[in-house]
């Protein structure tokens, strides 16, 4: 049975194909279209998924959309009514999109794909999140928590998964939302919403959580972790341009940071604010899972939704929360909704048995040696090729050990926002200057942003305070920020963040043998089986998908080597290839887009 899951018309359109319970392909449209956070219909991702499944659209049994547009439309109308006439501008703006695109999703899907309406299904937004996590988890039964900005009405749900069924037992509704609260502080600290949240998270170690109490004055938190916002401080439910009211700035005694400053300065006040909202987020989440643990009686937790990208909070939920085990899907945001929608139909709706757990995120496209060679030769790019893997990987490890920065392009690209050793920029984590070099000359991004370590799973607890690291799936997907062991921080200055933490990725021989072996060799050479890993893209660019993207990004940055499969391209081969698609998008979503 073939089920195609889709998410689009928000940020990060995606398509995923589940064949007989196994997730065989999943990819964001942006990888192919080269438009960062592409929200359009994912034609290219669908083509890719079907190709990977070896089928055509006519072989698909059901196409499942990740949310229910009519219910969301209802929320838009009722919210606009409740705040009329202040909401008239946001209503006008959102309705432009709704009446031209979003309302017609069903007919549009049917037309674009040539699929009859009887094959189209719609899954509730938070059910998609819940399903993406639970049905790809290794758990037979589990508590499920989904938290994001807003779905149709829900902004957070608690559920219980048993075998192939999910039951949602509690929900929190718009406009009260932990995700939107976090986004409000993202805007207050001068970052773009739906874009700058991870910057806020990266900024928090530079501050002190001095304003936690003041933040709690804006909200009421129930014993179950449910939130109630005092809406006089928030404007996202009616304003086009602002998530906050003037009362918000007055409450804290300072206006919002000028967004024009971008990432240019680290004002201690806003760093303290970032630290404070991080603490509040973690405390609310802990309350939620505490309650969920109590009512579900489960030992494990599946986490999903955009808030589950807060890897700092994720680890604290594992470490300080009541659950023995936590699973987070590699794409916990709306892109992952496509996977969830497909699994919801397959397992929950059609009653099919569970498939295997998702132990890796390598679900994207890959390119063979022949294809890479053809690209290099067609474009007259000088290269070297080392046929023997071991020799090649030793060369790569030596290059890193020599202080070079390299682009690493190998195997199927990763599902989700993280680069996990298929489309990565890698460097030596032992050299403190690497962080600045990567930020300034290669990624062209702000200096305070941390880099992640890829560590051999079997040696992770040597370097990180992460007991039994191998057992925890989120580590594979770089979804935990754990403390770097104090005694190892000196060995890993480039990946150790201000507060001594690192967002590690545990690398498994079974799922990415070449990357694992390369790190292993690097460890043999240096004594540190860890490499610095960041996504293979420039700031504002989608992660590379095709060799041409990789070469283009390599050419536009200060990288020293490009490794594609066993091909080596040196810096002196850099050049511009005119026909390669290249767009940079730095802006986030508008407030209207965030809530609609």
Partner 1 sequence: MRAINVLLSVSISLILAFVVFEFGLRLFPNFRPQEPINEFHPVLGWAKRPHAEVGRSTSEFDITFEINDQGLRCEERTSVAKSPNTFRVMMLGDSFVLGYTVDRKDLFVDHLRHYWSSEERRVDVVNAGTEGYSTDQSVLWFDEFGKAYQPDVVLLFPYENDIYWNGQDHYNRYPKPRYGPDGKLETGKLEDPGQLPWVTRKLATAKLLGLFVQGLSKPKGPPPHFFQPEGASGYVANEFAPLLLDPPAFVADTVARTEGALEALKTSCAEIGARLIVVPIPSESAIHADEKAAFQKNHLKGLDASRWSPDRPVELFLDLAKKHGIETLDVRSTFHARAGLGERLYFEQEWHFNPDGNLALAEFLKDELDARSVFPKEHAALAAGTFEKPATGGGLPTWILVFGALWLALGGGYIATYRDESAPLSFLKVGGLLACIFTIVLGGNSLVQKLPPALGPWLVLTVVTGILGFVVFKMGRRVGTIFELLTAFTLRGHWYLMPLVVVLLTIGSLLVVAASSPLVAPFIYTLF
Residue ranges in contact with partner 1 by CB under 8 A: 70-71, 73-74, 77-78, 80-85, 95, 98-100, 103-104, 106-107, 110-111, 117
Which of helix, strand or coil describes residue 427?
Answer: strand
Taking the least distance from each CB to partner 1, the nearer of 78 and 295 is: 78
Rounded to a whole number of angstroms, the minimum distance from the CB of residue 93 to partner 1 is 11
Output phi, psi for 532, to 5 deg.
Answer: -80, 130
Taking the least distance from each CB to partner 1, the nearer of 110 and 379 is: 110
Taking the least distance from each CB to partner 1, the nearer of 121 and 571 is: 121
Output phi, psi for 38, to 5 deg.
Answer: -55, 125
Taking the least distance from each CB to partner 1, the nearer of 82 and 169 is: 82
Tokens at 443, concatenated = 């990624």
Taking the least distance from each CB to partner 1, the nearer of 30 and 67 is: 67
Nearest to 596 by CA among 44, 125, 26, 45: 125
How far, in whole angstroms, is CA 523 from its chain's centroid? 28
Taking the least distance from each CB to partner 1, the nearer of 71 and 401 is: 71
Measured CA distances, 252 to 188, 218, 247 (Å): 10, 10, 9
DSSP summary character for residue 413: P
Rounded to a whole number of angstroms, the minimum distance from the CB of residue 87 to partner 1 is 9
Residue 500 gets the label, from left (phi > 0), alpha (psi -120 to 50) or beta, of: left
Rounded to a whole number of angstroms, the minimum distance from the CB of residue 343 to partner 1 is 24
Rounded to a whole number of angstroms, the minimum distance from the CB of residue 94 to partner 1 is 11
- For residues 284 and 19, give the distance between their C-alpha atoms in angstroms, rounded to a whole number: 37
Taking the least distance from each CB to partner 1, the nearer of 104 and 269 is: 104
Overall size of the chain counted in residues? 596
Rounded to a whole number of angstroms, the minimum distance from the CB of residue 120 to partner 1 is 11
Q: Kindly state the greatest CA–CA separation across the chain.
A: 69
- For residues 495 and 427, give the distance between their C-alpha atoms in angstroms, rounded to a whole number: 10
Rounded to a whole number of angstroms, the minimum distance from the CB of residue 70 to partner 1 is 5
Tokens at 453, concatenated = 């370590």
Question: In this structure, are strands 384-385 and 530-535 parallel, antiparallel, or unpaired?
Answer: unpaired
Taking the least distance from each CB to partner 1, the nearer of 100 and 368 is: 100
DSSP summary character for residue 234: B
Tokens at 79, concatenated = 């919210």
């Amino acid at each position: 049975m073939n089920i195609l899951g889709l998410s689009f018309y928000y940020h990060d359109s995606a398509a995923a194909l589940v064949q007989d319970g196994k997730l065989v392909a999943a990819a964001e449209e942006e990888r192919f279209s080269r438009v960062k956070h592409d929200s359009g219909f994912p034609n290219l991702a669908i083509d890719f998924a079907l190709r990977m499944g070896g089928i055509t659209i006519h072989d698909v049994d059901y196409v499942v959309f990740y949310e229910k547009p009519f219910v969301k439309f209802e929320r838009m109308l009722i919210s606009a009514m409740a705040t009329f006439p202040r909401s008239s501008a946001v209503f006008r703006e959102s309705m432009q999109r709704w009446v031209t695109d979003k309302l017609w999703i069903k007919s549009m899907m049917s037309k674009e794909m040539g699929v009859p309406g009887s094959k189209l299904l719609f899954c509730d937004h938070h059910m998609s999140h819940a399903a993406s996590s639970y049905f790809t988890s290794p758990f037979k039964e589990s508590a499920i928590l989904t938290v994001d900005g807003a779905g149709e009405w829900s902004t957070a749900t608690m559920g219980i998964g048993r075998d192939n069924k999910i039951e949602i037992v509690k929900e929190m509704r718009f406009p009260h939302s932990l995700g939107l609260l976090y986004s409000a502080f993202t805007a207050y600290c001068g970052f773009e919403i739906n874009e700058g949240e991870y910057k806020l998270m990266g900024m928090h170690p530079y501050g002190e959580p001095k304003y936690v109490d003041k933040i709690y004055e804006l909200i009421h938190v129930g014993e179950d972790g449910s939130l109630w916002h005092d809406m006089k401080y928030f404007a996202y439910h009616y304003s086009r341009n602002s998530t906050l009211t003037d009362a918000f700035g007055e409450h804290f005694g300072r206006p919002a940071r000028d967004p024009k400053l971008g990432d240019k300065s680290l004002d201690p006040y806003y760093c303290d604010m970032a630290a404070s909202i991080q603490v509040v987020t973690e405390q609310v989440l802990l309350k939620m899972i505490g309650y969920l643990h109590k009512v579900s009686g489960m030992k494990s937790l599946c986490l999903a939704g955009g808030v589950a990208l807060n890897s700092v909070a994720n680890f604290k939920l594992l470490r300080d929360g009541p659950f023995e085990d936590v699973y987070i899907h590699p794409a916990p945001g709306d892109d992952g909704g496509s996977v969830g929608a497909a699994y919801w139909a397959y397992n929950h709706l059609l009653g099919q048995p569970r498939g295997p757990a998702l132990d890796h995120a390598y679900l994207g496209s890959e390119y063979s040696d022949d294809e890479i060679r053809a690209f290099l030769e067609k474009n007259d790019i000088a290269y070297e090729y080392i046929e023997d893997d071991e020799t090649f990987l030793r060369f790569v490890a030596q290059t890193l050990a020599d202080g070079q920065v390299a682009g690493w392009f190998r195997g199927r690209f990763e599902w989700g926002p993280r680069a996990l050793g298929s489309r990565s920029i890698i460097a030596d984590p032992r050299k403190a200057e690497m962080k600045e070099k990567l930020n300034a000359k290669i990624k062209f991004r702000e200096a305070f942003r941390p880099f992640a370590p890829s560590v051999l799973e079997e040696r992770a607890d040597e370097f990180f305070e992460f007991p039994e690291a191998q057992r925890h799936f989120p580590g594979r997907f770089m979804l935990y920020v754990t403390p770097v062991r104090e005694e190892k921080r000196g060995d890993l200055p480039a990946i150790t963040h201000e507060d001594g933490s690192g967002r590690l990725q545990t690398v498994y021989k079974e799922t990415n043998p070449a990357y694992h072996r390369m790190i292993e060799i690097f460890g043999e050479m240096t004594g540190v089986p860890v490499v610095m890993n960041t996504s293979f893209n420039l700031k504002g660019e989608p992660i590379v998908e095709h060799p041409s993207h990789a070469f283009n990004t390599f050419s536009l940055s200060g990288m020293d080597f490009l490794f594609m499969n066993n091909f080596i391209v040196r810096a002196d081969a850099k050049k511009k290839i005119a026909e390669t698609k290249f767009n940079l998008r730095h802006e986030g979503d508008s407030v209207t887009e965030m809530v609609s």
